Amino acid sequence: MGTIKTFFKDTIIYGLATVLPRLMNLILVRLQTDKLETSSYSDNTTFYVYAAFFNVLLTYGMETAFFRFFTKHEEKDKVFSTTLISLTVSTILFLIAVVIFNEQLANLVNLNQTYFNLLIGVLVLDALVVAPFAYLRATGRPIKFTAIKLSNVIIFVILNYFFLWAIPEFGINFPGYNPNDLVQYIFIANLCASITTLLLLSPYFFKTKLQFSKTIFKQLLNYGWPIMVAGLAYVINENFDKWLLPEMLGKSINGAYSGCYKIAVFMTIFIQAFRLGAEPFFFNHAKELNAKETYARIMKYFVICGSLMFVFTVAFLDQFKMLLVQDESYWIAIDIVPIVLLANLCLGIYFNLAIWYKLTDKTRFGMYISIFGAIITITFNYIMIPKIGFMASAWATLAAYGSMMLVSYQLGKKHYPVPYDIKRIGSYLVLATLISAVSYYGFNANYYVSTILVLVFLGIVYISERKDIKQLLKS
């Protein structure tokens, strides 16, 4: 139980690096949806869809590969140095190629030239800091990691308010300011925040003696490239809808869909916080005698917390809607939120299950599963959007992540069996889904009933887990 408490402590600290920035970004959802029309918000979404795609390409699985080999390799400094050099060199080569073929590439991705150049700047800066950030996590420095992450988002939020609100509100004379193209200033704010992060992490480029090991690089690459392919498939699963909807239903619909999708960010925050703490923890404790039992217990607590977040968000969705997306033109897509929340909970469970192929060095299975999910996403969207509109994209997300979760569980039983408490985990998922459905479709905006339903879920969990909870608190 002491190991579990250590895990939770690290996850909470890492969670601050995710939760606080995302909460601050939630403020921006309100600001951006107020200041931008749905079509402009669609451009903002498209920018970050491409950012997510290229981020995966530029890191090519090196972050997860670094964790794997840093924990088990005797020459840890050489692993870090090799990772740092490889990512730095590949990023510089990418930048050179983009400079040479700048106009052609901008046309290829169908982005405004200014937006494209800002995108490249953000991508390059973010790729350069991957290794230093991974080093902080692998060496157990969550507070420093969190502080730097927070500085990034604080700058981003402040500049968003400066460009989108302060300048037009107070008539500030800012050279070259274009009130007819506000979305570009979101990207400029991101670029400034990324520059600051690079400066703060620059000492880690000189942390160790620079030494490149071809042997270690090959090991990292062999382990990492399936992670990269899986990451690209994940980007498709997460963002294909936001790429396809403007083409099939128009930018305005995509903007509304993307705005409401942001309300599901609470589940995304929880999952990201879990991943930041879990990945190094799982690798570091893989050799412990009771490792599998620990992983199983963590999974149960993850599902309980995720299910509670699912129920709570759906129960008070009307309040979240008015708090985060005040412009009613966005609300046409509000029905996607419960579905997307459940889909992301399934994704979180999949990330938890994924430890089996990472610990057994069978990362190609992660690639296969993610490709399988991407095929479901693409097929479902193309077939169903013409029939049921943007709701098809939400259901496609649930179908993809749910399928990936089930397939990973079945494969994990064969290659790295973990004694998950499937009965209780399944019961909590079913219970959370039923309560959420009753709350949303039967008592929407009835906060008395919603509160009772949340308390019912909590009561059932407490009755079922009270012995385990008391034991955890005593340890």
Tell me 207's DSSP state: S
Its pTM stands at 0.76
pLDDT beyond 60 at 4: no
User: If pLDDT is split at 50, 70 and 90, which confidence band does 39 have?
Assistant: confident
Strand ranges for 289-423 from DSSP E:
none
pLDDT the model gives residue 16 = 63
pLDDT the model gives residue 10 = 60
User: If pLDDT is split at 50, 70 and 90, which confidence band does 22 have?
Assistant: low
pLDDT beyond 60 at 2: no
Using CA atoms, how far apart are residues 255 and 435, in angstroms rounded to an integer? 29
Q: Among 69-78, 205-214, 270-279, which is the least confidently predicted range?
A: 270-279
User: If pLDDT is split at 50, 70 and 90, which confidence band does 329 have?
Assistant: confident
pLDDT the model gives residue 438 = 93
pLDDT the model gives residue 52 = 87
Using CA atoms, how far apart are residues 83 and 101, in angstroms rounded to an integer? 27
Q: In the predicted model, what is the mean pLDDT of residues 99-118?
A: 89
What is the per-residue pLDDT across 208-231, written as a single tens digit (0 to 9) for each? 778 888 999 998 998 888 888 888
Cβ distance 157 to 27 under 8 Å?
Answer: yes
pLDDT the model gives residue 436 = 93
pLDDT the model gives residue 262 = 84
Q: Among 78-92, 199-213, 332-346, 393-407, which is the least confidently predicted range?
A: 199-213
pLDDT beyond 80 at 15: no
Q: In the predicted model, what is the mean pLDDT of residues 88-116?
A: 91
Most confident range (mean pLDDT) of 206-210, 245-249, 431-435, 442-446 is 431-435
pLDDT beyond 90 at 111: no
> Residue 402: what residue type?
G
Q: Among 41-45, 129-133, 417-421, which is the least confidently predicted range?
A: 41-45
| Residues 404, 407, 412: CA angle, nearest 5 degrees | 120
pLDDT beyond 60 at 291: yes
SS (H, E, C) 162-200: HHHHHHHHHCCCCCCCCCCCCHHHHHHHHHHHHHHHHHH
pLDDT the model gives residue 473 = 60
pLDDT beyond 90 at 466: no
**Mean pLDDT value across the chain:** 86
What share of the chain has pLDDT > 90, as a percent?
Answer: 41
pLDDT beyond 70 at 386: yes
pLDDT beyond 70 at 38: yes
Using CA atoms, how far apart are residues 65 and 224, in angstroms rounded to an integer? 5
What is the per-residue pLDDT across 444-454, written as a single tens digit (0 to 9) for each? 778 889 899 99
Using CA atoms, how far apart are residues 206 and 417, in angstroms rounded to an integer? 42
User: If pLDDT is split at 50, 70 and 90, which confidence band does 9 have?
Assistant: low
Q: Among 63-77, 82-96, 208-222, 309-323, which is the least confidently predicted range?
A: 63-77
Tell me 112's DSSP state: -
CA 255 to chain centre: 20
pLDDT the model gives residue 377 = 93
pLDDT beyond 70 at 442: yes
Number of CB atoms found within 10 A of residue 145's CB: 23
pLDDT the model gives residue 277 = 66
Using CA atoms, how far apart are residues 310 and 257, in angstroms rounded to an integer? 19
pLDDT the model gives residue 426 = 93
What share of the chain has pLDDT > 70, as a percent?
Answer: 91
> What value does the CA radius of gyration of the chain take, rounded to a whole number of Å?
22
Contacting residues for 239 by C-beta, under 8 A, at least 6 apart:
49, 52, 53
What is the per-residue pLDDT across 343-364, written as a single tens digit (0 to 9) for each? 999 999 998 888 888 888 887 8
pLDDT the model gives residue 337 = 93
Cβ distance 76 to 219 under 8 Å?
Answer: no
Using CA atoms, how far apart are residues 34 and 331, in angstroms rounded to an integer? 13
Q: Among 11-20, 323-332, 377-386, 456-465, which is the least confidently predicted range?
A: 11-20
pLDDT the model gives residue 278 = 66
